[in-house]
Amino acid sequence: MTSRWMDEDLSRDRFLGGRLTLLQPRRGYRAGVDPVFLAASVQAQAGQSLLDLGCGGGVAALCAGARIPGMSLAGLERQAPYAELARRNAADNDLQMRVFEGDLATMPPDLRQLRFDHVIANPPFFRRDASVPAQAQDREGALGEDTPLDVWVAAAARRCLPGGYVTFVHRSERLPELLAAFSQCLGSIELKPLLPRAGRAAHLVLLRGRKGGRAAFRLHAGMVLHQGESHGADGADYTPEVSRILRDADPLIFAR
C-alpha cells in the first residue's frame, strides 16, 4: 500500500534536536509537542516493548525509541496513509516499528495476540457533540473523537502486560472522563499537569496507570512549559527543563 501523499506534499521535520527527522503532511494533522512529552514520560528500559494506539505518523513511538535504544516498538493506526507514513519514518530513521492498520475497537487479530510493557496514546482531543469538525478528513480523524475515551483506555489496558504501564496525554477538560476510565481497569494512577506558564491553569495533562497496580492516586506538581508571564518575543520561550526534553531527549519525570 502506498501513501496518498506525494513527496512534495510532505515536510521533513526535526524532533529531539535532530535525532529524528520525520515526514509529516504539509496539510492535515501535524504532530506538535504533545507526542514528544508523551514519549518522554515513558519510563522504559532496553528490551521492553511499547505500543502506540492511534500512532499517526509514528512520532510518539519513534521519539520513545530514539530516546531508549533497544525497545520493541509497535503502533496501531486506522488511517492507511498515516500507517504507511509511520513505516516510512521508522525505516528512514533506522528504527524497527511494526505498524498495524485497524480500529482500536476491532483490532487486527495479530495485534490481539500481543501484550506490551508500555501502552501510550494521544487520543483525539475534541468531542464532536461540543465542537466543530475539521474540514480535512485526515485532520478530523486525528482531532475529532468518534470513539469514546473509555474505549481507548480499555483497549490500552487489554494490550498491557501485568505490571506494565498505560500513559495518555489529553486536554485537561477531559480529565474527569479519563480518570473514571483509568480507575475501571488500572491502578497506581499518577497525574502530571502541563502548565502553559507559571500561575496559569493546565491545558494538557499526562495520566499514567499500572496494570494491577495498588498504590494510592498521586497528583504531581505541574510542569511549566514556557518562561515569563506572556509570550513577548519571537522564538521559543520554553523553560530549560522543557527545552532539554524537546531538544536533548531528556526524560519527563513525573515526581521530583
- At 77-131, the pLDDT tens digits run 999 999 999 999 999 999 999 999 999 989 999 999 999 999 999 999 755 455 4
Taking 3-state DSSP, the helix, strand and coil percentages for the chain, each rounded to the nearest 5, stand at 30, 30, 40
175: Cα separation from own chain's centroid: 16
Q: Find, among 122, 132, 130, the residue nearest to 55 by Cα.
A: 122
| CA distances in angstroms from 218 to 38, 98, 145, 174, 187, listed in the order given | 18, 33, 27, 18, 11
According to the model, what pLDDT value does residue 78 have? Answer: 94
Nine-digit cell string for 85: 507514513
Cell output for 52:
502506540
pLDDT at 52: 98
What integer pLDDT is reported at residue 140 of this predicted model?
A: 39
Q: Are strands 223-226 and 144-145 parallel, antiparallel or unpaired?
A: unpaired
Question: What are the structural domains of the chain?
Answer: 12-248 (3.40.50.150)
95-107 burial: b if 16+ Cβ within 10 Å, else e: bebbbbbbebeeb
Torsion sign across C-alpha atoms 17, 21, 27, 30: negative
For the chain, the distance separating the N- and C-terminal CA atoms, rounded to the nearest angstrom, is: 46
Q: pTM, whole model, 2 decimals?
A: 0.90
pLDDT at residue 125, rounded to an integer: 77
Q: Which helix (H) or strand (E) holds 156?
A: helix 149-158
Tell me the pLDDT of the chain averaged across its residues.
Answer: 90
Q: 207 is written with which cell numbers?
A: 495520566
Please give the helix or strand (H or E) that residue 207 lies within, else none.
Answer: strand 204-210
Confidence bin at 154 (pLDDT 50/70/90): very high
* 190: pLDDT strictly greater than 70: yes
Picking from 31, 10, 255, 251, the residue whose alpha carbon sits closest to that of residue 143 is 31
At residue 178, does pLDDT exceed 60? yes
Please give the residue that has the higher pLDDT: either 233 or 5: 5
